[in-house]
Amino acid sequence: MVTIPKKQAVLALAISSALALSACGGSDDSGTSGGGNIGGGGGTVQPGGVIITAMDGYFLNAAVFVDSNNNGMWDTNQEAVLGLTDAKGQVKLTKEPEGTLAIQTIVPNGQMQQALIEQDPAKYAGKYTVDMDHPSQPMEHEIVLRSPNKGEDKVTISPLTDLVMIHVGENADDEAAIAEAEQKVAAQLNVENVYVNYIETDNKELHKTAQILTETKATDSNYADKVEEIVEEAVTVVGDMTEEEVEDPDFKPVVDGDIATPPTVDYKTVVIEESAKAIQAELNTFNVDLQTSAPAEGISVSADIATLFQDKDIKNDAGEPLPFASTDMTLDATQLIAAGIEVKFENNQLVVSLAPNTKPTKAGVFNIEITLNPQDKVTETTAIFSVEVEKGIALPPEAEQAVITSLKSQINDWSLTEGEAFFGPLDYSEVQSIFENNVQIEVGTNATANGLELIYEGTMRQFTKFGLAGTPTNPAAAGEFYIWVSGKAENGLVTQVNLPLPLIAEAPEVIPPPPEDNTPKFKPEHFEKGGIWRMGSFNAGDSEVGYASLRNSNGQYEFCWDSASTLSQNGWSHALSSLNQNAPANETEIVRCDAVTLHEDGSFTYDNEKMGAFKLAYEHKENDQYKLLFTVDNGLFWLDSSAEDFAHSLKVPAKDGYNEVSLVDDNTSRESIDAMLAINAFAADTVEMVNADSPEETMSATWTIETDSVGESLMLTETVDNGTQQREIFYVRDFGSVSVTIEDKHANDNSANFGLKSENEELLRDIKEAWQPAPTTPATEFENKVWFSTEHGNGNGTENNFTNSVAWCDTSYFKDGIAYGNDRSMENRTVCTDDKNALVEYGTYVIDGPYLTVSMPSDNGDAPETSKLSFADNAATINGAKMVNAWDERYAYFTDKAAAEQRLNAKSSDAAQYRDAPMELPNLESDTYSTGTMSARIRDGYFGFSIDQAKGRSFTCEEFNEFYESMYVTDGYNYISSTCQNSVENGITHTSFSFNGTPEAGVQYSFIARVKGHQQPLVEAIKYGLKN
């Protein structure tokens, strides 16, 4: 029995593309799983690759895959697509996959097409299989055809090879089973090779047999069960066909395997390819775009559709196929009509038109579907055509140049100046008229960055006030800033017009008043004051006090000072009384006067340069009297023009519940100061005193207010190691925000010194900084460097090796809060330890600005011993070293090991230049230093030592004796004293020492000169080593 399949056809939009592919071969679709990319061209196979050809007629866009489980179906979620076939049915893979090869046909909107789209929409949307026997129509059925994979480089998949796989069944990998199936199929079809390309060999009967098998498999669900009968009937049916029927691709009966029932033959309803091409070609002449309006007569195209469809079952009396009328058809152009295009049938014509003076509303490619309605022996068949509406060349809106010129002229007349308020009016309606009414307008300016903005007052398009306003923050060249007007057309394109601003002039130069300088300064009025002034020194080492005068002597400023006494000597109260009794009658009796020059910075200096600059640190003026605090060199002094006598004593201010800050010199050395700022918190009868710069230093005392013949005083009683100690404080001069006091340490034979007290901590800090400036070099410079210094001592720190102090080299290293040093050995008498790993931890340190504070634990459980290290600002230059204040003494800290060792390892046989070691020496000028040399020698059985100042300067025994205790030489056990002699050469004095002793050969000697206690922070001790 033979049945006729349902006849339904859809014209592919890519008919011409399919034909082009058929002409050139190849495909741009490929899979990667189990295959690789398409390779080669024509029939050439790349090494290791394979060409797969799928056919009934050649299949275009059939999906090639590996039927990995041999179930005869494409399992979309497990089996990847290796590629889509081209118009010659081919896929070329660079690597042959393993397993049974198969193809799956795809129909529009079918299940397999949807599965592919889900995998890759961009790649597979709109793809369906075309049997190139009917190139104008997609296939109507989804079927799978398979072929054995025998490892060859060319594989054919067809209805014939599919018969082999049906016979093989589950034995797809069994070569013997495959060979047996091949023989069976070949015998049934009467062919030698079941893998033959019957299209290439032009075997029309075999081609027709394959067509019948495809149609039958697509419609008969029991195809595999009766495949031998179906093949037998198909061969018989083809053998009974006429030559015309064999060659007609539209003649495709379907067999059911029952040879006894004759077939009923019908023809497929088809789309005539030539007619479809002609219609599409006519539609391609419909050229419209979104930017161009149709002319007055409109735009229209038409195409004849009478010969679009054909069914050979519908014939006239002459036996020719009859055409179909438009009344037999249905038209669907929904998308195109929505874009403003009219589509209709008219007298068997398809008419597409655009109304006069209109534009399409959408761009794109739109489908027109023409469907032949079903009737007797005619099945529903659809042809699809396309019409493209282009975007066209969009043009931006056009600006009216006359309006632009007018606005530019108005703006150019504006006058703008930096820093001056401005308003430039504009007519907003004129701005609007730059563009047509259907253009959307925006207005703005880039001048907002320069303090200008557009202002609007009123309602849109009816502004009562409109223009540019603000205050320009900077000058600008003409055109640097502008007002912009943009017009946006309906097509979305924009035209911007810039209206440039004229020059923004630079603001007239305004010279600001000089910043207020609150720095205290000596002024001419101080010298014009003249008269008798009273003056005192805060330096505890001398506490000088006496009469002074600042005066103008016939146009020459003079500073006069007659120091008559000192508080640091016994009987300070008597000294002050004596000063009062012997007061000069007038300023002329103060005769120790020196000419001075007053400088612009408010300082003054002696014209004879015998001291440094006098700098004012504080000034208080009351009742036309001046109360001043000033510094010169390292001294702080008070100076009072009032007639208050020296013995004057003020009432003690209230104390209970008050905090008071004090500033005193805590060092009794004449040459050195230690300005200490303390915060004193008073309670009912106690006071807690804290060092403001070292809060860990505290002291407690009780206090009372005493009254005696001198006046009121504040008595502080402090607990010390051996009992109690009293300090009596007299408030003697009122300097406004500060008070000058006299502090009498009762335990020190009635000696005293001046101090300052105030409730203003910041003020006293400023005065302290003026008096004793903090070092400027940050203490972080100490860290992560190995420092070498010379020291004198009689042992290594744990035991006394010698009876007399000798010279050593000490090493210091500061890192990560840990202080390291060397364990002294006898080798350190001449050699410095530079191995960091050999150093030992001896304490910890913290850094506070210019100070590095070292803390060393006490062996007996007492509080840790601490010392502040800082770099000296005023210092001589010693190569490879920096001068450092440490352990209340002065040292040269070397980073150059050899330079440090030069002071220790000289030999008597060395030439003078090797024995001369640089050293720092104080100058006669206060607080200045020069680089001198020290040198030892042993000659003719005698010791010698010399000190020389810098070139052109003298250093005398008198200066030596001012700073040093004595000079001696020792081997550690024997002490040999010296005598100092001056020698003058070319006006320069040199100092040398002779020793009363005889040197021994091979002995390491140390030359030692200790610094006097109060001078130790100012001068480094002499420590020099020499081997005989």
The predicted-structure confidence for 384-417, as pLDDT tens digits, reads as follows: 889 999 988 878 888 999 999 999 999 999 999 9
pLDDT at 606 (0 to 100): 92
Q: Which residue, 470, 505, 540, sits at the end of a domain?
A: 505
User: Using CA atoms, how far apart are residues 799 and 780, in angstroms rounded to an integer?
Assistant: 33
Based on the domain organization, do 585 and 484 belong to the same domain? no
Mean of the pLDDT values across residues 338-351?
Answer: 95
The predicted-structure confidence for 597-628, as pLDDT tens digits, reads as follows: 999 999 999 998 777 899 999 999 999 999 99
Mean of the pLDDT values across residues 99-117?
Answer: 92
pLDDT above 70 covers what percent of the chain?
93
Q: Which residue has the higher pLDDT, 127 or 45?
A: 127
pLDDT at 526 over 70: yes
Amino acid (1-letter code) at residue 364: G
DSSP category for residue 633? T
Mean of the pLDDT values across residues 28-32?
Answer: 37
Quickly state the pLDDT bin for 787 (edges 50, 70, 90).
Answer: very high
In sequence order, what are the beta bridge partners of 315? 321
Residue 511, domain member (yes or no) = no
pLDDT at 262 (0 to 100): 72
DSSP category for residue 58? B
8 Å CB contact between 889 and 1021: yes
Mean of the pLDDT values across residues 556-579?
Answer: 81
Q: Which residue, 390, 421, 443, sits at the end of a domain?
A: 390
Based on the domain organization, do 729 and 868 belong to the same domain? no
Tokens of residue 485, six digits = 């007007």
Strands 381-390 and 288-289: what pairing?
A: parallel
Tokens of residue 505, six digits = 């002039």
- Mean pLDDT is lowest, of 10-24, 644-658, 903-917, for 10-24
pLDDT at 569 over 70: no
Q: Residue 744: phi, psi to the nearest 5?
A: -105, 110
8 Å CB contact between 416 and 504: yes
Domain range for 942? 779-1027
Based on the domain organization, do 755 and 642 belong to the same domain? yes
8 Å CB contact between 587 and 643: no
Mean of the pLDDT values across residues 901-910?
Answer: 93
User: Using CA atoms, how far apart are residues 836 and 814, in angstroms rounded to an integer?
Assistant: 11
Quickly state the pLDDT bin for 926 (edges 50, 70, 90).
Answer: low
Based on the domain organization, do 411 and 366 belong to the same domain? no
- Mean pLDDT is lowest, of 39-48, 323-332, 374-383, 914-923, for 39-48
The predicted-structure confidence for 429-451, as pLDDT tens digits, reads as follows: 899 899 988 789 999 999 999 99
Strands 988-995 and 942-948: what pairing?
A: antiparallel
Q: Which residue has the higher pLDDT, 213 or 577?
A: 213
Quickly state the pLDDT bin for 748 (edges 50, 70, 90).
Answer: low
Based on the domain organization, do 735 and 802 belong to the same domain? no
The predicted-structure confidence for 176-188, as pLDDT tens digits, reads as follows: 999 999 999 999 9
Helices 175-189, 227-240: inter-axial angle, 10-degree rounding? 30
Based on the domain organization, do 480 and 538 belong to the same domain? no
Residue 263, domain member (yes or no) = no
DSSP category for residue 671? S
8 Å CB contact between 815 and 822: no
Based on the domain organization, do 463 and 527 belong to the same domain? no
- Mean pLDDT is lowest, of 237-251, 568-582, 906-920, 949-963, for 568-582
In sequence order, what are the beta bridge partners of 810? 789
Secondary structure class of 116 (helix, strand, coil): helix
How many independent structural domains does the chain possess?
Answer: 5
pLDDT at 492 (0 to 100): 84
Strand order in the sheet with 50-54: 90-93, 50-54, 154-157
CATH code: domain of residue 386: 2.60.40
Based on the domain organization, do 323 and 203 belong to the same domain? no
Residue 649, domain member (yes or no) = yes
Residue 771, domain member (yes or no) = no
Residue 265, domain member (yes or no) = no
Based on the domain organization, do 939 and 980 belong to the same domain? yes
Mean of the pLDDT values across residues 1012-1026?
Answer: 88
Quickly state the pLDDT bin for 462 (edges 50, 70, 90).
Answer: low
pLDDT at 379 over 70: yes
Based on the domain organization, do 220 and 286 belong to the same domain? no
Per-residue CA distances from 1006 to 186, 205, 466, 794, 802 (Å):
122, 128, 95, 11, 12
The predicted-structure confidence for 262-317, as pLDDT tens digits, reads as follows: 765 677 788 888 999 999 999 999 999 988 888 889 999 999 999 999 888 888 88
Based on the domain organization, do 150 and 65 belong to the same domain? yes
Quickly state the pLDDT bin for 23 (edges 50, 70, 90).
Answer: very low
The predicted-structure confidence for 140-181, as pLDDT tens digits, reads as follows: 889 999 999 998 999 999 999 999 999 999 888 899 999 999
Based on the domain organization, do 209 and 318 belong to the same domain? no
pLDDT at 9 (0 to 100): 35
Q: Residue 764: phi, psi to the nearest 5?
A: -65, -30
8 Å CB contact between 495 and 592: no
Q: Which residue, 760, 794, 819, sits at the end of a domain?
A: 760
Q: 3-state SS string over 868-909?
A: EEEECCCCCCCCCEEEEEECCEEEEEECCHHHHHCCCCEECC
Residue 772, domain member (yes or no) = no
Per-residue CA distances from 35 to 32, 40, 65 (Å):
5, 14, 9
Tokens of residue 731, six digits = 């408030």
DSSP category for residue 656? T
pLDDT at 752 (0 to 100): 84
pLDDT at 1018 over 90: no
User: Using CA atoms, how far apart are residues 393 and 724, in angstroms rounded to an integer?
Assistant: 106
Mean of the pLDDT values across residues 322-344?
Answer: 93
Residue 395, domain member (yes or no) = no
User: Using CA atoms, how far apart are residues 124 and 114, in angstroms rounded to an integer?
Assistant: 9
Tokens of residue 892, six digits = 């040269």
pLDDT at 28 over 50: no
Nearest 10 degrees: CA dihedral of 164, 166, 172, 175?
Answer: -30
Residue 936, domain member (yes or no) = yes
- Mean pLDDT is lowest, of 131-140, 218-227, 275-284, 979-988, for 131-140
The predicted-structure confidence for 75-93, as pLDDT tens digits, reads as follows: 988 899 999 999 999 999 9
Instruction: Give the DSSP letter string of 735-758.
Output: ETTEEEEEEEEGGGTT-EEEEEEE
